[in-house]
Amino acid sequence: MKPICSLQAAPIDTAGLIRRLVTPADGAVASFFGVVRREHLGRGVHHLEYHAYREMALLEMKRIARRLQREFKVERIGLVHRTGSLNVGEISVAVAVAAPHRKAALQACAAAIEAIKHHLPVWKREFFTDGGAPRWVLGSAEPQTPLAAAKKHEGGAEDGAEISGKERD
């Protein structure tokens, strides 16, 4: 089965996603839903704005799903991520895996959300309840990032202050 991959402005129909995945061959469905939390690093979050590199994100979702299908021998995977403005309590990302047995479903589901967090070209901007300037949430960079590598090649220095807030899981 081709994975279900979607990047959408509309709210995620989680029950519908699971219904589309499950077949009579399945004995387990594992799912994960990421939800917009009301605070980040001690500040009240009013809402989040999600931005994506749409064309690449869809390809990346398919690459992630195919890798998980191979790695965990599961066939039915659904990955959905929202874009645009989301309020506290809304589901921003949904992962569901249906499989004959729970172990593979649970493992593939956990690996899927990690892969999304680390590889999907999506960014979020926080808007705060205190009315302060909105801020981009920066994900954790890979250990060897391009600019670091390029600068190292030139003999440049690397350490210093943050430009903005770091992501906290």
Partner 1 sequence: MRIRLLYFALVAEIAGCQHEEMEVGDATSAGEVLLKVVDRYPRLGTPGFQPLLAVNREHASPEREVREGDEVAIFPPVAGG
Contacts with partner 1, residue ranges (CB under 8 A):
34, 50-53, 55-56, 59-60, 81, 92-93, 113, 116-125, 136-142, 145-151, 153-154, 157-164, 167
Instruction: Give the residues across from 39 on adjacent strands.
Output: 44
> By C-beta, is 74 or 93 nearer to partner 1?
93
Q: Are 150 and 123 in contact (CB under 8 A)?
A: no
> By C-beta, is 46 or 125 nearer to partner 1?
125
Least Å distance, CB 168 to partner 1, is 11
Least Å distance, CB 50 to partner 1, is 7
Report the alpha-carbon distance of residue 37 to residue 48 in Å, rounded.
9
> By C-beta, is 71 or 142 nearer to partner 1?
142
Element (H, E) at 93: strand 91-99
Least Å distance, CB 166 to partner 1, is 9
Least Å distance, CB 101 to partner 1, is 26
Q: Report the 10 Å Cβ neighbour count for 50.
A: 19
Mention every residue, 6+ apart, whose C-beta is less than 8 A from residue 108: 30, 68, 71, 72, 74, 77, 97, 99
> By C-beta, is 74 or 122 nearer to partner 1?
122
